[in-house]
Amino acid sequence: MTDAADLRARVRDLLAAHPPATTGRTDFLRARFDAGLAWVHHPAGLGGLDAPRSLQAAVDAGLAAAGAPDNDPGRIGIGLGMAAPTLLAHGSDEVRARFLKPLWTGEEVWCQLFSEPGAGSDLAALGTRAVRDAATGDWIVDGQKVWTSSAHTARWAILLARTDPDLPKHRGITYFVCDMTDPGVEVRPLRQLTGEAEFNEVFLTGVRIPDAHRLGAVGDGWRVARTTLMNERVSIGGARIPREGGMIGRAAAVWRDRPELRTHALHRRLLDLWVDSEVARLTGERLRQQLAAGEPGPEGSAMKLGFARLHQAVSGLEVELLADDGLLYGDWTMTRPERVDFTGRDAGYRYLRAKGNSIEGGTSEVLLNIVAERVLGLPPEPRDDKDVPWKDLAR
């Protein structure tokens, strides 16, 4: 078993063989992946060394201290947080060997083709169809997806499609890797509250997917999707941040730098939110330690729920703190950003962007349902459509 001392030695060897000062960014990241220092808990050959996941933080810190480039998680968050754990858990050897390295180095961006105009919270109702081409064995996909973050920069997508409409909705879904450069993929920007178009609608017309790019068995896509969704909540809600980092760091900086704006009432609220942020940060740390033991559970839903509430409260407080300046909005130009950054730009942007935090990755209402049922053991919501063939559901 690889231990902390062994990993430190490997970090030293990597830095000696590929000095960050003289090695190109991508070359360094490729070498880091090959050295097993990308995801230390992955198997050897897939970016890891079968080491405990908890040792990753020390590797990251050691490399950052030496000035090594990082793989820009804001640009490839969906790949890192959602596609990678799913590819690892459900992909064939060929799929894992093909996709994980360029995903981690950032050479290939990923997006998530899940939500549809008629299927968001009720994702299992999705209607995008995948039909097998008897001659080639490929799948031909037709449908529409929506709210697809980063589709405009993505090379690949994780895709859910219906392969059997005669089965109840959860059972007729299959999970694929979709080539975003296929001529049948059309990506159109959707402008959002912040002015920019971080997400898109995606039209799929006769998109061809080889059967080798299927993850899991035909009809077993819902089980595969659960891996993605559980990891999505942890990756949105449980990102590692330093003490007084992230959103609370922005508000605390205003408090420190602009004494003329201080009031007693705002001080009290800032302290309360500072404590809540610290509790959330430590809870995230505990969640990551639990993760070392396996897949994330419903605790990830509680984490994401708390994160959305906190982001909205803290960004609101920052705007109030700034008084008149809080009403200024730096730039409402329509852009198609390459990165997702919840705490970037100005206070107005942070305030508006935080509104999406209680929708993306599962709405707060839906996450409350999950916590109620799966953490607190309360009775489940009535589900009278569970055994009805998808094609017979009201739409």
Ligand X SMILES: Cc1cc2nc3c(=O)[nH]c(=O)nc-3n(C[C@H](O)[C@H](O)[C@H](O)COP(=O)(O)OP(=O)(O)OC[C@H]3O[C@@H](n4cnc5c(N)ncnc54)[C@H](O)[C@@H]3O)c2cc1C
Beta 110-113 vs 156-162: how paired, if at all?
parallel
Tokens of 310: 């906190």
Of 108, 116, 198, 232, which residue is the catalytic one?
232
- Does residue 369 touch ligand X according to CB under 6 A? yes
Q: For residues 134-153, which are near ligand X according to CB under 6 A?
A: 147-149
Question: 64 and 70 in contact (C-beta within 8 Å)?
Answer: yes
- Does residue 115 touch ligand X according to CB under 6 A? yes
CB of 363 to ligand X, least distance (A): 3
Binders of ligand X: how many residues, by CB under 6 A?
Answer: 19
Question: 166 and 391 in contact (C-beta within 8 Å)?
Answer: yes
- Clarify whether 232 is annotated catalytic: yes
SS3 at position 80:
helix
Q: Which is nearer to ligand X, 63 or 234 (CB)?
A: 234
Q: Which is nearer to ligand X, 145 or 281 (CB)?
A: 145
- Does residue 120 touch ligand X according to CB under 6 A? yes
CB of 371 to ligand X, least distance (A): 12
Q: Point out which span in 49-57, 233-241, 363-371, 372-380 binds ligand X (CB under 6 A).
A: 363-371
SS3 at position 332:
coil
What b/e string do you get for 361-372 counting C-beta neighbours within 10 Å, with b at 16 or more? bbebebbebbbe
Tokens of 171: 């059972």
β partners of residue 48: 44
Which one of 359, 371, 372, 393 is in contact with ligand X (CB under 6 A)? 359
Tell me which DSSP letter residue 129 carries.
E
Which one of 28, 156, 199, 351 is in contact with ligand X (CB under 6 A)? 199
Q: Point out which span in 178-186, 301-309, 319-327, 361-369 binds ligand X (CB under 6 A).
A: 361-369
Which one of 104, 114, 176, 307 is in contact with ligand X (CB under 6 A)? 114
- Does residue 360 touch ligand X according to CB under 6 A? yes
Spatial CB neighbours of 334, under 8 Å, sequence gap ≥ 6 = 189, 191, 195, 196, 197
β partners of residue 112: 158
Distance (Å, whole) CA 358 – CA 361: 8
Binding footprint of ligand X on the chain (CB under 6 A): 111-112, 114-115, 120-121, 147-149, 199, 356, 359-360, 362-363, 365-366, 369, 381
Question: Which sequence positions are flagged as catalytic?
Answer: 232
